[in-house]
């Protein structure tokens, strides 16, 4: 799971527990991403009709958009068994060999953070994906020989937040790639309403709208904000006739204020990134490495966590000469002067 480095162990643990409580377990509960769901259903139906293992699938997209959830839904559709691991967990060729040889017919192997699979292990994965063969080198030096084992028909599902870091040979071995995009406000609203029901929380339409706008089009963020707003309402909020705490508009607004999240979901780090480009680099263009150094932040984090959402908002542009802050960001940050320069 990709997370921002600012996150403490506690938030990560909390996210994991919210994720599993609120994770949709049926297609009907999986809100949005309609095209992906339609295409997946056809693909899975066809595989079931042929009585074969489904094609290997790649799910890519920013953190918290529902890749793991989709993998579990696919497994459920195909009748069950899913074994999960991740790129960094596969340290030795033997780790992958053990996982692969333990797969039963038609089972699913889910590899999270696929962009972090070590190249030596990838080499072993290729023939396994293509021909269901496992080639193992036994022994060392001149007496080394290759042992080939047949594997059961299986489906590999890989998830990645950084598809561009996947090697071409690996990428080309998936039968289908699904790219998840940020959710529309309407979909996030539905997710919040569902989550509120599951958590037994009552939220006004105004509160849901406020939280949805601040959720960065990301279900995991929406669920996290809902939890925080529920906490706030428990301590400060009004009660409904039934005696439950109501998350109303003011409670939602106060929650965001406390978390220093603005109405579009920008966090202090996002604002700092924009302000750094504006103040230190005259609004850009500035190269990503220079920017990373100025922010004392890893380049990958800037590229994966901050930039995609800022670009979706039309606040930031990646150009060949570097990053540029766009006029809507100046307006949002209420910075005058520079805007005219740009327009």
160 assigned to active site: no
Report how far residue 72's alpha carbon sits from residue 118's, in angstroms, rounded to the nearest whole number: 24
68 binding Mg ion? (CB under 5 A): yes
Shortest separation between residue 68's beta carbon and ligand ATP, angstroms: 3
What DSSP designation does 200 have? T
218 assigned to active site: no
Q: Which of 112, 187, 248, 270 is catalytic?
A: 112
Select the residue interacting with ligand ATP from 58, 65, 192, 214 (CB under 6 A).
65
Distances (CA, A) of 40 to 70, 153, 175: 10, 19, 11
Report how far residue 120's alpha carbon sits from residue 110's, in angstroms, rounded to the nearest whole number: 19
Contact letters for ligand ATP, residues 8-37 (x by CB under 6 A): -----------x--xxx-----xxxx----
Contact letters for ligand ATP, residues 284-313 (x by CB under 6 A): ------------------------------
Select the residue interacting with ligand ATP from 191, 192, 291, 326 (CB under 6 A).
191
> Which three-class secondary structure state does DSSP give residue 198?
helix
Report how far residue 185's alpha carbon sits from residue 315's, in angstroms, rounded to the nearest whole number: 18
Q: Which does 160 bind (CB under 5 to 8 A by kind): ligand ATP, Mg ion, none?
A: none
Do 284 and 330 touch, CB atoms closer than 8 A? Answer: no
CA 51 from chain center: how many Å?
A: 31
220 assigned to active site: yes
Report how far residue 323's alpha carbon sits from residue 110's, in angstroms, rounded to the nearest whole number: 35
11 assigned to active site: no
Site size toward Mg ion (CB under 5 A) is 2
Shortest separation between residue 99's beta carbon and ligand ATP, angstroms: 19
Vertex 339 angle, CA 338 and 340, to 5°: 95
Q: Which residues are catalytic?
A: 67-68, 112, 161, 220
Chain residues that interact with Mg ion, rule: CB under 5 A: 1, 68
């Amino acid at each position: 799971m990709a997370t921002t480095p600012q996150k403490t162990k506690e938030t990560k643990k909390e996210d994991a527990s919210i994720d599993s409580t609120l994770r949709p377990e049926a297609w009907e509960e999986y809100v949005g991403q309609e095209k992906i769901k339609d295409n997946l259903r056809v693909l899975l139906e066809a595989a079931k009709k042929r009585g074969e293992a489904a094609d290997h699938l790649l799910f890519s997209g920013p953190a918290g958009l529902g890749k793991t959830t989709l993998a579990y839904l696919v497994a459920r559709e195909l009748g069950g068994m899913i074994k999960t691991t991740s790129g960094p967990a596969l340290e030795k060729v033997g780790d992958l060999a053990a996982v692969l040889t333990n797969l039963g017919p038609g089972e699913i192997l889910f590899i999270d953070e696929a962009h972090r699979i070590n190249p030596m292990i990838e080499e072993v994965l290729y023939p396994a994906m293509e021909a269901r063969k496992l080639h193992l080198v036994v022994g060392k030096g001149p007496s080394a020989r290759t042992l080939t084992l047949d594997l059961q028909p299986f489906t590999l599902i890989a998830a990645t937040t950084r598809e561009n870091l996947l090697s071409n040979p690996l990428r080309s071995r998936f039968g289908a790639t699904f790219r998840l995009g940020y959710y529309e406000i309407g979909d996030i609203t539905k997710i919040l309403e569902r989550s509120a029901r599951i958590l037994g929380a009552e939220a006004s339409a105004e509160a849901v709208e406020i939280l949805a706008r601040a959720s960065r089009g990301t279900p995991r963020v929406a669920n996290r904000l809902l939890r925080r707003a529920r906490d706030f309402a428990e301590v400060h909020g009004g009660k409904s006739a039934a005696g439950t705490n109501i998350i109303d508009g003011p409670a939602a607004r106060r929650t965001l204020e406390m978390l220093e999240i603005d109405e579009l979901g920008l966090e202090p780090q996002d604002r700092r990134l924009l302000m750094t480009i504006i103040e230190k680099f005259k609004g850009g263009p500035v190269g990503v490495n220079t920017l990373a150094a100025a922010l004392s932040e890893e380049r990958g984090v800037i590229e994966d966590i901050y930039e995609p959402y800022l670009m979706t908002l039309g606040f930031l542009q990646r150009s060949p000469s570097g990053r540029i802050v766009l006029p809507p960001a100046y307006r949002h940050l209420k910075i005058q002067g520079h805007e005219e320069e740009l327009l």
